[in-house]
Chains A and B, each alone.
Chain A
């Protein structure tokens, strides 16, 4: 490697050489543009004034005069013999840093070499550090960003190769979109076709690349200059971070990344100032009315879906529930409410809903699920008692989109739809509720709270008994799996970064959790392949806080993109992966059984297309080959505790580990 001094000299000499060429080229270009304009009478040129005063007539069919700038002189960037010392890529790195972006995940591609090189040789070597994270699939880059955002509360960056990379990333973008998560994405763009050097560059070019994911991104742009880049990077960040959160995308011209900064490094465009964002809160009159309904209700119920965007949201929800002594049903898409809070009635939501006279649904993706039911024949009925009042607070309704149908399955009757961000509305609502709570009903509220506390305790006792069922079974029961892990981590600062629904939600039933990062929900759009990479992104965010990240990953999910394990090892991201190895796409096999039986053909062939066996995959061996600590396959439940202990010791040393557990279906 050349010493910095040498490099500097080479750059200097090279630059002089380049400038000479550019200056000559520039003069020639200026001359030819002027002559072309003169001929055509283009506005803005000297001749347009002449044309308006009756200048010479132009014969457009005449051949252009010789002397146009040759291609070779239009730009130097693709001429590998020419060196230069400033580049758009470095400026872009500075813009990303100014947005507070710390990581940049990508699978490389030559449409963004200009930024790639700037990140590794400038961003990673200067402060504030911008670190390149190497992935093995664009879906992994996006999903990592998805998980990262949910822990860190702000985006990292990911970048994809044009057409081909973005197509790979699309599924993960849709998950993030449906999960209302801010993602800052970039994609390379070979805009100037006249400068695309080879056939593959044409294959990798699109006139409007972002179009293919526009249905499930919040906003995109294709900047035409460096100034436009920085302004739109700020727009992208701001729009991603304004509720409803969502992914945004910049298509960044390949040559703009590679070219010199016009005028040189010291004349780079300014970097805009990032605003603090104030999300839309509910309108005061409506908030007062909702407070009145809740304060005077006999059985108010709070339902929280993607309500707690930040740690503050969790605290606010506890305040509201406690003021009202109202039960909270948490969808599990976020850590909305402490799992062992006496008012947490998530496991009893059907019962609680059917008793409700006022329901406040915060950021509900699908109010129908709460307020109504559909029987096997498609008949719908109300899930609430007659006269019950239904209130929704939803920021997503401020930004509906047409094509993908991830929102509001069926309309259900809602009395008041507050189009606002739930978390931002809560402080005002809490204050109003406190003001309006009838003092005479204090003892009734306390009695209500006590009944819920009893019900929660009873649920907990029942869950313990249910967990005891099949305790010593092999394949290992999911309850045992969760309890053996909990035993090892309960005194640590743990963060369960995977969703628990595919394993019976034992964490919510039996563990104690009250911090926002202890649970972050799941996919968003139920797109499989999320868990392995997204949980690694979450672990990356947890790393600097020294938290112990754990992730249950389905065998099917992991095999969508096992390359992520290599990324975990290569980037030394501490995460404990536990493979819920039921040796099948279990969710699907259950559905296939139902269909086969309806057709009265029996279910003895449903393993075809659903089983992941014959051969069985040895995940521990796979993990080891990719550089991780690997344990398993664990078949005897007695071996599980010791294996987890060894793996956790590795994770606490700052390395990833994987434990393969041959488990029950769910």
Chain B
């Protein structure tokens, strides 16, 4: 959570906006936007969940994501098209889709051994 870098990241994000159609760039841009627009504060650095639910790996469909941003359920901030154009949402979505599957609980000794 290096807030000092946020403005710089935003500048990068705007500068790379022209390449929105390009899928690999979308992922990179989406990753930056994900942090720069504060999704990470509530959904974790890689979408793993925190104050808000897990978003990645395997995000809900794009329609669900944009719906949640434009008309959020109670506790999540609104992201209107003014602060986040559709192309940015698409980039974030591309990033969320790209997050690799992590380990399952059964592959983590501390969790696997856990029972009651």
User: Which of B's residues lie within 8 Å of A, judged by CB?
Assistant: 1-4, 6-7, 10, 36-38, 40-42, 44-46, 48-51, 54, 74, 76-80, 82-83, 102-105, 107-108, 110-111, 114, 116
CB contact under 8 A between A468 and B105, given known A483-B111, A487-B110: yes
Q: Which residue of B lies closest to A504 (CB)?
A: B50
Q: Which chain A residues lie closer than 8 Å to B10 at the CB level? A: 604
Contacts of A597 in B (CB 8 A): 77-80, 83
The reply to whether B1 and A611 contact each other, CB–CB distance below 8 Å, is yes
Q: List 13 A-B contacts (CB under 8 A).
A: A464-B111, A469-B44, A469-B54, A472-B103, A486-B110, A593-B38, A593-B41, A597-B79, A604-B6, A611-B3, A614-B4, A665-B42, A666-B42
- The answer to whether A467 and B1 have CB atoms under 8 Å apart is no
Across the interface, which residues of A come within 8 angstroms of B74, CB to CB? 375-376
Indicate if the CB atoms of A466 and B54 lie closer than 8 Å: yes
Are B105 and A666 neighbours in the complex by a CB distance under 8 Å?
A: no
Between A484, A584, A596, A602, the greatest number of chain B beta carbons within 10 A of the residue's beta carbon is seen for A602
Residue in contact with A473 in the complex, picked from B44, B104, B114, CB distance below 8 Å: B44
Contact with B along A41-65 (1 / 0, CB 8 A): 0000000000000000000000000
Collect the chain B residues with CB atoms within 8 Å of residue A603's CB. 37-38, 77, 83
Are B50 and A484 in contact, with the CB atoms below 8 A?
no
Task: Check if A491 is an interface residue, CB within 8 A of chain B.
Answer: no
Contact A666 B50 (CB under 8 A): yes
Minimum CB–CB distance from A56 to chain B (whole Å) comes to 83
Bound: A445/B38 CA distance, A: 48
Chain B residues near A665: list those with CB within 8 A. Answer: 1, 40-42, 44, 50-51
- Known pairs A375-B74, A596-B77, A665-B50 / 10 extra A-B pairs, C-beta < 8 Å: A470-B45, A470-B49, A471-B108, A590-B77, A597-B77, A603-B77, A604-B10, A604-B36, A606-B38, A611-B1
In the bound complex, residues from chain B placing their C-beta under 8 Å from that of A468 are 102-105, 107-108, 111
B1, B36, B51, B76: which contacts A584 (Cβ < 8 A)?
B1
Which residue of B has the minimal Cβ distance to A606? Answer: B38
Q: Is A607's beta carbon under 8 Å from chain B?
A: yes
Q: Which of A465, A473, A486 contacts B105 (CB under 8 A)? A: A465
Report how many residues on chain A are interfacial, defined by Cβ distance under 8 Å: 49
B38→A614 contact, CB < 8 A: no
Kindly name the residue among A376, A469, A586, A593 whose own CB sees the greatest number of chain B CB atoms within 10 A. A469
A589 at the interface (CB under 8 A from B): yes
In the assembled complex, the Cα of A665 lies from the Cα of B77 at a distance in Å of 16
Contacts of B50 in A (CB 8 A): 478, 504, 664-666
User: Which of A99-132 touch B at CB < 8 Å?
Assistant: none
**Chain A, Cβ-Cβ closest to B43:** A665
Q: Is A280 an interface residue (CB 8 A)?
A: no
Question: Which 4 pairs show the lowest CB-CB distances between chains A and B?
Answer: A470-B48, A607-B3, A469-B48, A594-B77
- Chain B: CB-nearest residue to A641: B110
| B1:A582 contact, CB within 8 angstroms | yes
Q: Is the CB of B79 within 8 A of A470?
A: no
A510 interface residue per 8 A CB criterion:
yes
| A467: B residues at CB distance < 8 A | 105, 111
* Cβ contacts under 8 Å, B105 to chain A: 461, 464-465, 467-468
A273 at the B interface (CB under 8 A): no
Beta-carbon contact of A664 and B45 below 8 Å: yes
Q: Whose C-beta in chain B lies nearest to the C-beta of A469?
A: B48
Tell me if B3 and A584 are in contact (CB < 8 A): yes
User: Is there contact, CB below 8 Å, between B114 and A464?
Assistant: yes
Q: Is the CB of A472 within 8 A of B102?
A: yes
A582 to B36, CA, bound (A): 16
Alpha-carbon gap, A593 to B79, bound state (A): 10
Instruction: Report chain B residues within 8 Å CB of A461.
Output: 105
